[in-house]
Structure formats: structure tokens, C-alpha cells
């Protein structure tokens, strides 16, 4: 069961128990809802932009440890980044969790702490959990109205 400890790394469990930026922003200029109808995970991501820089970001909702920790760590990772930097980070993260990271999984230095999600690649059905918040962030930035889903 080595895969299990790879998936549920201590940092992930810690973030799922005490998610960061878990609140509603007082002033929000972009927000979106992400929902996985098959499993019931549901998050709202709030973004405050300054120019094209993410000045503040927060989220609320409910879901499994993977989806909640991913949302929490995403907010930490993209705060202060430009929209295009956040998009690039999403692509790297997506490659990591789908096992397509070009430099051997957790070798992608640009991902920083997000590399703790490398274990997700061994659990294809959980990729949607790890990426739900990210898809929701993209939808918020694009100003989409309809809730997004990773199903």
C-alpha cells in the first residue's frame, strides 16, 4: 500500500484538515462554482484581481481530502501571480497529476509544494478531485456563469 502514503501525504492531510484561505472575499470581482455531480464535491472560488494579477483568492465548499487540500494549496500557489502565470501553473499541475510531467513527476521545480500531489497519478479516478478547484479558478478568471465540472 505504498501508493496510499504517496497519495495521502502529510501535507495534503494537513491542508484538508485546516484549509488555507477558506473564506469568502469581502470584495470579489471574479468567482465561479465547481461541482462534480457524480461525487457531490462542490467548491466556490473567489478572486480579486489587480490588473491581471491575482491580488487575493479564497474558496469555500465541501469535498474529499484531495479536492480540499488541492483547493487550499492552489490558493497559496497562485496568489500574487498573473493570470498567465496561474494558467501555466495549472498546466504543470495537470501534467503532474495525470502522470505526464516531463521531468519525471515531482521533478518539476516550478510546482513547489504542489508536487505532493504527484501520487494522484497512480489513482486516475481521483484526478478530477485534484483538478476541480483549478478548473473552477480558470472558469472564474474567464467569467463563466455556468458551474464547471471535471466529470
Partner 1 sequence: MQRVNRQPLVYLDNAATSQKPQHVIEAITRYYELDNANVHRGVHSLSQRATDEYESARETVRRFLSAAESREIIFVRGATEAINLVAQAYGRANVAAGDEVLITALEHHSNIVPWQVLCEEKGATLKVIPIEDSGELRLETMDVLLTPRTKLLAVAHVSNALGTINPLREIIRLAHACGVPVLVDGAQAVPHLAVDVSALDCDFYVFSGHKIYGPTGIGVLYGKSALLDAMPPYQYGGDMIRSVTFLKTTYNTLPHKFEAGTPNISGAIGLGAAIEYVERLGLTNIAGHEHDLLTCATGEISKLPGILLIGTAKEKAAVLSFVMEGVHPHDIGTILDQQGIAIRTGHHCAQPLMERFGVSATARASFGLYNTRQEVEQLVAGLRKVREVFG
Q: Is there binding between residue 151 and partner 1 (CB under 8 A)?
A: no
Q: Is there binding between residue 64 and partner 1 (CB under 8 A)?
A: yes
Q: Is there binding between residue 62 and partner 1 (CB under 8 A)?
A: yes
Helix, strand and coil content of the chain, in percent to the nearest 5, comes to 50, 20, 30
Tally Cβ neighbours within 10 Å of residue 131: 24
Q: Closer to partner 1 at the Cβ: 6 or 76? A: 6
Nearest distance in Å: CB 102, partner 1: 27
Nearest distance in Å: CB 93, partner 1: 20
Nearest distance in Å: CB 69, partner 1: 10
Q: Please report, for the chain, how many H helices and E strands are present, in that order.
A: 5, 3
* Options 25, 31, 34, 42; binder of partner 1; rule CB under 8 A: 42
Nearest distance in Å: CB 34, partner 1: 14
Tell me how far apart the alpha carbons of residues 142 and 119 are, in angstroms, rounded to a whole number: 29
Helix (H, G, I), strand (E, B) or coil at 48: strand
Q: Which residues contact 145 (CB under 8 A, 6 or more apart)?
A: none
Q: Where do contacts with partner 1 occur on this chain (CB under 8 A)?
A: 1, 3-5, 7-8, 13, 17, 38-42, 62-66, 68, 123, 126, 129
Amino acid at each position: 500500500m505504498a501508493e496510499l502514503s504517496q497519495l495521502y501525504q502529510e501535507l495534503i492531510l494537513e491542508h484538508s484538515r485546516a484549509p488555507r484561505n477558506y473564506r469568502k472575499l469581502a470584495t470579489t470581482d471574479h468567482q465561479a462554482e465547481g461541482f462534480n455531480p457524480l461525487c457531490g464535491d462542490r467548491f466556490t472560488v473567489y478572486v480579486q484581481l489587480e490588473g491581471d494579477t491575482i491580488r487575493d483568492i479564497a474558496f469555500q465548499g465541501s469535498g474529499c481530502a484531495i479536492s480540499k487540500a488541492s483547493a487550499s494549496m492552489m490558493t497559496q500557489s497562485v496568489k500574487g501571480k498573473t493570470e498567465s502565470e496561474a494558467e501555466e501553473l495549472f498546466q504543470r499541475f495537470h501534467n503532474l497529476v495525470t502522470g505526464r510531467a516531463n521531468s519525471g513527476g515531482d521533478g518539476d521545480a516550478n510546482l513547489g509544494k504542489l508536487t505532493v500531489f504527484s501520487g494522484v497519478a497512480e489513482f486516475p479516478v481521483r484526478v478530477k478531485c485534484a483538478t476541480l478547484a483549478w478548473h473552477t479558478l480558470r472558469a472564474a478568471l474567464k467569467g463563466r456563469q455556468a458551474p464547471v465540472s471535471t466529470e
